[in-house]
Structure 1
Amino acid sequence: MSTEDPEALLDEARKWWTTSIVDIHPGEIAMRGYPIEQLIGRITFPEMIWLMLMGELPTRAKAQLLEAALVSSVDHGPQAPSIAIARMAATCGPGLNGAMASAINVLDDVHGGAGQQCMEIYYEVEAEAGADGDLAKAAATVVARRKEQGLKYFPGFGHRFHPLDPRAPRLLQLVSEAADRGETSGRFAVIGAAVEDALSQGRAKRIPMNIDGATAVVYCELGLPTELGRGVFILSRSVGILAHAWEQTQQGGRIKGPQAKFLNYTYDGPARRDLPEPDQRG
């Protein structure tokens, strides 16, 4: 491109960033084509999230399911690593933005990734079954295959704290009610139950679906890509992170570590020893 053509240079500069999300001009803001002043006060925040991510406004039923899933994952107590990190960071002086960023940064594969990973399993079961296949058989096949691949802990099932996660049944109830009204297929609720059956086969106690498995049902019913399943979980958990960071800021405290001062850690290194003189070090 010739730098002697100012119009061509300006056109090329405009193409540096391309977006179909927002269009802004002096005195004008449009989100996915909708003037912002028409959206304000007329759509809910979950509807706005859907519009921004998916490009169109959701049906009211989809928005309600998305909202329910977002509400369900907001917080799980200060023992959750991300929440604990937010509170510790708040005592170290970075402000709310730093405390939130510190916490959000740990929401990765191990802590925060189970919902996305469970969605991947559900979509794999759907693909295995095909349009008219046996979902229970497909679930058993996928579970067996994942075990052969070395998967020991199935994301979305079982819980280290709750014998039965109280959030999961309510979300599944909402999905079932939406399916009965014809607002969603209910197919992934069946897949989730089939995976639970396959995991529990031959065990004295069932391995029940947890919150990650239930939100995965919702997000798959809504047709979200798996990566966005994790993204919207992070949006949800950010509310709890903010609340805890703000509460800790109000409570005060300075440089609070992960455990109370009177609780010591476990040291398993060498016993105390004297440093040898230089000529004795070999």
Structure 2
Amino acid sequence: MTDTTDVDVAQTTQWWATAVTRIAPGEIEYRGYPVQDMIACADFVSTIWLMTRGELPDETTRRLLDAVLVASADHGPQAPSIASARMAITCGVGINSAVANGVNVLGDVHGGAGQQCVALLTDLVSRAREGEGAIDDLAADAVAAFRERGAFVPGFGHRFHPVDPRRDPLLRLVEEAVAAGRLEGDALRAGLALEAALAARGRAVPMNIDGISAIVYAELGVPPELARGLFVLSRSVGILAHAWEESQGGRRIKGPLPPPLLADYRGEATRRLGDGR
């Protein structure tokens, strides 16, 4: 049996010690800022950055984070995360369960490419800074390695859009910040080098929302896994909107195919047991 006699109050209160929020009777602080000051002077995007990164963002960071969160908010009901939430809400679950259902399908394949691309860009920039080669050459080698093992380069190409409409406006914001000296631009150069290396192999494969978002997050110093978390936070807005819309339609138990359509059956032909009765 574990002896608990030496567990004191200090050990107990340290169990969930946090640097994020301080709570006391009549007091709430986010990273040291009283909530009443945040309400008066801050916006939601700045609060996200403060809570996850520890300090309020400068204007460049705030503008870029705001833009990338807007760009990632939704991609229509054909996106598995959205469809999953819409189907869930027709089964009688609450709005929170429907949103959770959508969020829970955001995995490595659907929702993870941004994290993977941040990691790739960060690696290329780090290796270039350590003198392993020029960024263009390192990017070309990386593309060749992905192709050799038959893998997609994360953040590039889109199954639906020949050119992702979110690419250019976000890219322009990053380029403007780099030109003004507010960002270093290394992740931007790495992303464009990957895009050029893909195009050099015979067909243009422009960066998608995951790729341009990864450039933004890498330029802002966001770790790869946190970048995925921020994408999930953004996409939760679309998931919520679609789940709420579906809940207002009144249809119950809405499956993946509209009636009277049924999924094709490709198993064994009908077989009988016993005398068939």
Smaller-chain TM-score range?
over 0.9
| 1:63 alignment partner in structure 2 | 62
Cα displacement string for residues 43-85 of structure 1 (whole angstroms, at most 9, x for unaligned residues): 1111111100111111111011000000000000100000001
1:77 is matched with 76
Matched, 1:30 2:44: no
Structure 2: runs of 5 or more not aligned: none
Q: For each residue in 1:177-222, what CA deviation from the matched residue of structure 2 results, as whole angstroms up to 9, or x when unmatched?
A: 111111112221111110011122221x201111110100100011
Instruction: Work out the CA distance in 1 between the residues paired with 2:227 and 2:105.
Output: 16
Aligned to 1:147: 147
Deviation of the 1:142 alpha carbon = 2.0
For 1:183, the equivalent position in structure 2 comes to: 182
- CA distance in 1: counterparts of 2:4 and 2:101, whole angstroms: 44
Q: Partner letter of residue 237 of structure 1?
A: R
Q: Show structure 1 runs of 5+ residues with no match.
A: 278-282
**Partner amino acid, structure 2, of 1:218:** V
CA distance in 2, matches of 1:55, 1:202: 42
Written as runs of structure 1 = structure 2, the 5 A alignment for 1:103-118 is 103-118=102-117
Inter-partner Cα distance in structure 2 for 1:276 and 1:201: 65
Whole-Å Cα distance in 1 between the matches of residues 40 and 28 of structure 2?
Answer: 15
Report if aligned partners of 1:168, 1:214 keep a CA contact under 8 Å in 2.
yes
Deviation, 1:106, is 0.5
Q: For the residues of structure 2 that align with 1:138 and 1:4, how far apart are their CA atoms?
A: 59
Determine the structure 2 residue equivalent to 1:11: 10
SS in 1 for 2:41: coil
Task: State the partner residue of 1:262.
Answer: 260
Specify the SS of the correspondent of 1:40: helix
Give the whole-Å Cα distance in 1 for the aligned partners of 2:141 and 2:152.
Answer: 17
Please give the secondary structure, in 1, of the residue aligned with 2:122. Answer: helix
Q: CA deviation at 1:3?
A: 5.8
| 8 Å Cα contact 1:124/1:142 also seen in 2 | no
State the SS of the aligned residue for 2:65.
Answer: helix
State the secondary structure of the residue aligned to 1:41: helix
TM-score (normalizing by structure 1): 0.92
Q: State how far apart, in whole Å, the 2-side matches of 1:134 and 1:86 are.
A: 45
CA deviations over 1:222-246 (Å, ceiling 9, x no partner): 1000001100000000000000011
Match of 1:212 in 2: 210
Map 1:201-280 → 2, pairs under 5 A: 201-203=200-202, 205-276=203-274
Instruction: Please give the alpha-carbon distance, in whole angstroms, between the structure 2 residues aligned to 1:131 and 1:25.
Output: 48
- Aligned equivalent of 1:50: 49
Please tell me the residue identity of whatever aligns with 2:146.
R
CA distance in 1, matches of 2:143, 2:29: 45
Aligned counterpart, 1:280: none
Partners of 2:146 and 2:152 within 8 A in 1: no
The percentage of aligned residue pairs carrying the same residue is 51
One-letter code of the match for 2:187? Answer: F
Letter in 1 for 2:200: Q
**For 1:155 and 1:44, how far apart are their aligned partners in 2?**
32
Distance 1:145 1:162 in 2: 25
Preserved CA contact (<8 Å) 1:126 1:138: no
Give the length in aligned residue pairs.
273
| CA displacement, residues 14-57 of structure 1 (integer Å, 9 cap, x when unaligned) | 11111111111101111111111111131111111110011111
Alignment match, 1:199: 198
